[in-house]
Amino acid sequence: MKARLKDIASQSGVSIGTVDRVLHDRGEVAEKTRDKVLEIARKLNYTPNLMARVLKSKKPYNIVSLLPRSTEENTFWVKHPVGMAKAMAELEPFPVDLTKVNFDMLSENDFVNETHRVLELNPDGVILAPIFKKESITFCAELKSRDIPLVYVDGFIPETDFLAYIGENVFQSGKVAGQLTKMINPRGKDILLLNLSKNLQNVHHLNNRTKGFLSYFDGDKSSVGEIVSLNIPNAAGDYLRLELDKAFARHPDIGSIFITGSKSFKIADYFLENGHKLVNIIGYDLLERNVMHLKKGNISFLIGQRPEEQTYKGVKKLFDFLSTNKLPEKMEYLPVDIITSENVDFFL
């Protein structure tokens, strides 16, 4: 049975009122008595009635999310609000509000403008996808100065102060991609490591995946040819096609391509539209167009990041901290899902 205040009072030899003052830090209690009550509470695994405690609060907790805006070409960010909606449905009895703020993930300036909007909302806690490293560090410093707890999703910046992170181990998932690529790359063939990013060094999660991928081949490149790194800052059709044409002209022996982001479908489209022989393609995320190519065999592997689970857990961790001061697990790495044409339907 769940321990009650009267059980703690009985075993401690004090009144229920004294137990209440100790557990809720209200009023003066002798140190010896406080220690005894807390020890009995621990032995009985006492947990407070969260609902009763939180419902006493008249002011709702104001959580604000700052995530990239979903686009027609990058629907990955459509799934994050689904996780937040699920968490908010479960928290419906409690006084908590969620405001969603979005930014253009191709524009550092838009990100900065939206951080100002977040601060104007006076949040009690923030959920952030720190796409742009430099600008995120500035924003996080401002949150810290205002004592606003921060939960990261999709990536984290270790040199900042944050409450928790939920998502993949970015570096390790890059290593997993390296292992997959090596497994299926024809022996001796070159590998193309492709970033589709305007400013790779500032888009820290892609940069860390790149480092993880390359680290897998450290000291053992015996079965592969050259690893060619290519960053294309503009993924628009004609520009992308011209850059890929040049890359394949310079390196005609490419057997596999690893795309660090969500736009693997663009590379599969390129091969089909230009009549080139398909090579192995490994990329990220269950976008509809990625899944279509995966099922047709045009993409070999996708790596999933569980976006709904990231934001669901982010909202719950923030609420628990705000309402009970409970410190969450700081680093919660989600599984690296390796998705093929044979198991993809289980993830949809």
Let me know whether 113 and 174 are in one domain.
no
The whole-number pLDDT of residue 34 equals 84
Could you tell me the pLDDT band of residue 50, with boundaries at 50, 70 and 90?
low
Record the tokens describing residue 30, joined without a space: 């002798």
Query: What is the C-alpha separation between 15 and 294, in angstroms, rounded?
Result: 66
- pLDDT by residue (tens digit) across 199-235? 766 677 888 999 999 999 987 777 889 999 999 998 8
Let me know whether 88 and 41 are in one domain.
no
Let me know whether 155 and 220 are in one domain.
no
CA angle 320, 322, 100 (to 5 degrees): 90
Average pLDDT, whole number, for the chain? 90
Question: Per the domain annotation, does 54 fall within a domain?
Answer: no
Listed residue (143, 151, 153) closest to 116, CA to CA = 143
Strand runs labelled E in 115-163: 125-128, 150-153
Let me know whether 107 and 19 are in one domain.
no
Task: Please tell me which residue, 323 or 259, carries the higher pLDDT value.
Answer: 259
**DSSP character string of 21-36:** HHHTT-S---HHHHHH
Answer yes or no: is pLDDT of 21 > 60.
yes
Let me know whether 104 and 12 are in one domain.
no
Distance of CA 221 to the CA centre of its chain: 31
Question: Per the domain annotation, does 242 fall within a domain?
Answer: yes
Answer yes or no: is pLDDT of 341 > 60.
yes
Let me know whether 37 and 72 are in one domain.
no
Answer yes or no: is pLDDT of 165 > 90.
yes
- pLDDT by residue (tens digit) across 110-132? 999 999 999 999 999 999 999 99
Task: Say how many domains are in the chain.
Answer: 3
CATH of the domain at 236: 3.40.50.2300
8 Å CB contact between 126 and 161:
no
Let me know whether 275 and 312 are in one domain.
no
Let me know whether 82 and 146 are in one domain.
yes
CA angle 52, 57, 63 (to 5 degrees): 110
Question: Per the domain annotation, does 347 fall within a domain?
Answer: no
Answer yes or no: is pLDDT of 254 > 60.
yes
Question: Per the domain annotation, does 345 fall within a domain?
Answer: no
8 Å CB contact between 184 and 300:
yes
**In terms of residue numbers, what domain contains 242?**
170-304
Let me know whether 235 and 314 are in one domain.
no
Question: Per the domain annotation, does 344 fall within a domain?
Answer: no
Let me know whether 220 and 277 are in one domain.
yes
The whole-number pLDDT of residue 48 equals 65
Let me know whether 265 and 325 are in one domain.
no
8 Å CB contact between 40 and 12:
yes
Could you tell me the pLDDT band of residue 49, with boundaries at 50, 70 and 90?
low
Let me know whether 278 and 251 are in one domain.
yes
Output b/e per residue, 327-336; b: 16+ Cβ within 10 A: ebeeebebeb
Using DSSP's 3-state secondary structure scheme, residue 262 falls into: coil
pTM of the model: 0.81
